[in-house]
């Protein structure tokens, strides 16, 4: 959910606890009227733009039940871990997260700077409009690899982000295990990937590196929505992001070449920073996670909203299932298989 998301109708302060939060942290004065505008686009939290005299900011509050069709519950304590992840990121690269203003762990609230969309467009919106810039993908890959490298082997971070229960509720169960239940023939494979991912603890993982959570700022990418932050398998972040570039190649057919190149460049930029383990081991995990996540975005608890054509969903199921049954050793091999399948004639054809 982005601080620059599309807005819906503005309201007065939704409840007194929110106003008290601003006053208590000296972000607003007593009696100072604020205009609270809900920001749309997310399923896991409430987010408001708050306009005060001469300034604007964002307030975020985690939801116990996510806004999806399936019954998806998650601990609201993730709000505190998101705040902690953003503090970690800002120590290494201050310009890659919004300015952090205040946090109330007990209330599950934090405030951050509002980033105007005219200066910080959402990467997802750019991609879906066909504005595919390979340099942006390279910057995302380099940033992600840099953050993973900075956190790898850090025992203090591992203790601070021992959020296995959160990550299970937010990622392992709704993505990997729910998809295993939907595809019994692939159940053992997907459960194995889930188990391996859950028990790998090497670096600080963001957990939701999706183009909807990346703003293209004047100084480079800005990362949002680290509610899934977890000291775990860095391959998850890489696969999660590359997955979205592949899915968008189905719905932006005029930019398929650029999207596939972006996926390759992002992965290579990432691997150049990955100094904490042998590349072959890291890449093999990412390459096996990638088809699992592709399938999850069709048949898991959080399907992507833009795959509305049955032929697109069938394509994802077909390619992802084949890659799960015959794992590719590298991310490049997965991208090759995806590209080859896109070019292959089919009985129904892919819609343009």
User: pLDDT by residue (tens digit) across 204-260?
Assistant: 999 999 999 999 999 999 999 998 999 999 999 999 999 999 999 999 999 999 999
Proportion of the chain above pLDDT 90, given as a percent:
76
Proportion of the chain above pLDDT 70, given as a percent:
89
pTM of this prediction exceeds 0.85:
yes
Which class is domain 123-343?
Answer: alpha beta
pLDDT at 7: 44
pLDDT confidence tier of residue 160, bands split at 50, 70 and 90: very high
Residues of the chain with CATH 3.90.1200.10: 123-343
Selected residue with higher pLDDT from 15 and 165: 165
The mean pLDDT of the chain is 90
- What mean pLDDT is predicted for residues 256-270? 98
- Assess contact for 186 and 324: CB atoms under 8 A: yes
DSSP sequence for 260-321: HHHHHHHHHHHHHH--SS-HHHHHHHHHHHHHHHHHHHHHSSS--TT--SHHHHHHHHHHHH
pLDDT at 4: 46
Q: Tell me how far apart the alpha carbons of residues 207 and 236 are, in angstroms, rounded to a whole number.
A: 7
pLDDT at 243: 98
Q: How many CB atoms lie within 10 A of CB 98?
A: 24
Q: Are strands 100-104 and 220-223 parallel, antiparallel or unpaired?
A: unpaired
User: pLDDT by residue (tens digit) across 104-117?
Assistant: 988 888 999 999 99
Q: What is the largest CA-CA distance in the chain?
A: 66
Q: Tell me how far apart the alpha carbons of residues 155 and 175 are, in angstroms, rounded to a whole number.
A: 28
pLDDT at 344: 87
- What mean pLDDT is predicted for residues 44-51? 85
pLDDT at 6: 40
User: pLDDT by residue (tens digit) across 302-332?
Assistant: 999 999 999 999 999 999 999 999 999 999 9
pLDDT at 45: 76
Residues of the chain with CATH 3.30.200.20: 16-113
Q: Tell me how far apart the alpha carbons of residues 325 and 28 are, in angstroms, rounded to a whole number.
A: 56
Q: Under 8 Å CB-to-CB from 30, ≥6 apart: which residues?
A: 23
Fold of 16-113: Phosphorylase Kinase; domain 1 (3.30.200)
């Amino acid at each position: 959910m982005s601080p620059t998301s599309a807005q819906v109708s503005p309201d007065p302060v939704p409840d007194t606890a929110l106003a008290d939060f601003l006053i208590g942290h000296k972000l607003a004065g007593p009696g100072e009227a604020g205009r609270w505008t809900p920001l749309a686009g997310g399923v896991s939290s409430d987010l408001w733009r708050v306009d005060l005299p001469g300034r604007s900011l964002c307030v975020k509050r985690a939801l116990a039940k996510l806004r999806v069709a399936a019954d998806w519950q998650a601990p609201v304590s993730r709000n505190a871990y998101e705040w902690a992840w953003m503090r970690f990121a800002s120590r290494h690269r201050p310009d890659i997260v919004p300015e952090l203003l205040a946090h109330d762990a007990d209330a599950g609230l934090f405030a951050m700077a509002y980033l105007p969309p005219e200066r910080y467009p959402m990467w997802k919106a750019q991609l879906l409009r066909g504005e595919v810039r390979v340099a942006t993908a390279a910057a995302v890959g380099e940033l992600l690899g840099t953050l993973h490298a900075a956190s790898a082997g850090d025992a203090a971070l591992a203790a601070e982000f021992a959020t296995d229960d959160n990550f299970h509720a937010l990622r392992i169960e709704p993505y990997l295990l729910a998809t295993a239940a939907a595809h019994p023939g692939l159940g053992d494979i997907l459960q194995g990937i889930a188990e391996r991912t859950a028990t790998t603890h090497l670096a600080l993982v963001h957990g939701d590196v999706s183009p909807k959570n990346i703003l293209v700022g004047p100084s480079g990418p800005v990362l949002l929505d680290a509610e899934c932050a977890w000291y775990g398998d860095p391959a998850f972040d890489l696969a999660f992001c590359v997955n979205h570039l592949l899915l968008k190649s189905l719905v932006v057919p005029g930019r398929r070449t650029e999207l596939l190149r972006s996926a390759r460049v992002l992965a290579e930029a990432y691997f150049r920073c990955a100094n904490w383990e042998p590349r072959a081991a890291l890449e093999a995990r990412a390459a096996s996670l990638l088809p699992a996540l592709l399938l999850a975005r069709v048949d898991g608890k959080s399907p992507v909203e833009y795959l509305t054509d049955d032929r697109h969903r069938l394509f994802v199921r077909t390619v992802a299932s084949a890659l799960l049954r015959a794992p590719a050793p590298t991310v490049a091999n997965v991208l090759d298989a995806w590209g080859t399948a896109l070019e292959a004639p089919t009985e129904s054809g892919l819609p343009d």
